[in-house]
Structure 1
């Protein structure tokens, strides 16, 4: 079941269940790579310099892996679970490079919900077309339903 944004901006713990999915598509552009390099201070020439990158195993520039991963973070923070979700951990495995002009599909799936700790485990995946470019698992803390104020 593909899940859209919650009207409040975020799902609370009690509204989440395994199998919920949210997807976001983002085009990787020259501008995004430049902005990510500025924000992260990662100016590795494999990302920034075509002449250098053309001599590597990638035979051309590739996007920062964490730029692509950040699209999954955008899903977690704005769609599923959304506003109020706080990252506790993230594992990632990168499978294929991403290039300027590629459209990355970030897919987040609720794997499990722990009502005791208010933690949710998410399967995180990234695709370009049908090719999986990365995958991992995130653990996030999610707000619970507020208890009514006592008089």
Structure 2
């Protein structure tokens, strides 16, 4: 398991295929409310138990992108960390997430392209042993600075 880099972020030359980082985040009422306010997504399936109880989910569920944002937290703060810039992200959602669930965001380096300074990451989310979402991210990562020429 890869931990945060002492500098705050790994540079391209330090990254290797197979590096993994995880972050556990508990879904709370406050997180759902804050995400709704930040995203302006007040869908009643997320906000209203009476409404949500009549849906196929039989109760409130967290926003899918709230859970996905925990992967972004790993990318921006652990692996690759500070300086990494998201270029793209695919996502497939498999199971709903509810208040009280602990989402484990797992990021794995699947490819490093030294020519373009781009890194492909496998992004996964779990609640317990259940995969709730998966996808692939492409990020740009800082390179080692080249010495100035005289």
For normalisation by structure 2, the TM-score amounts to 0.99
Counterpart in the other structure of 1:40: 39
Which SS does the other structure have where 2:66 is aligned?
helix
Counterpart in the other structure of 2:59: 60
Once residues 121 and 110 of structure 1 are traced to their aligned partners in structure 2, the CA distance between those partners, rounded to angstroms, is 6
Counterpart in the other structure of 1:119: 118
Offset of residue 149 of structure 1: 2.2
Give the number of aligned pairs.
150
Once residues 128 and 17 of structure 1 are traced to their aligned partners in structure 2, the CA distance between those partners, rounded to angstroms, is 27
Which SS does the other structure have where 2:108 is aligned?
strand
Offset of residue 96 of structure 1: 0.1
Unpaired runs of 5+ residues, structure 1, are none
Once residues 70 and 81 of structure 2 are traced to their aligned partners in structure 1, the CA distance between those partners, rounded to angstroms, is 13
Deviations 1:62-84 (A, max 9, x none): 00000000000000000000000
Once residues 41 and 7 of structure 1 are traced to their aligned partners in structure 2, the CA distance between those partners, rounded to angstroms, is 36
Once residues 150 and 68 of structure 1 are traced to their aligned partners in structure 2, the CA distance between those partners, rounded to angstroms, is 46
Offset of residue 148 of structure 1: 1.5
Which SS does the other structure have where 1:31 is aligned?
helix
Aligned 1:1-150 pairs, distance under 5 A: 2-150=1-149
Once residues 78 and 150 of structure 1 are traced to their aligned partners in structure 2, the CA distance between those partners, rounded to angstroms, is 32
For normalisation by structure 1, the TM-score amounts to 0.99
Could you list the structure 1 runs, at least 4 aligned residues long, displaced by more than 3 angstroms after superposition.
none
Offset of residue 150 of structure 1: 2.8
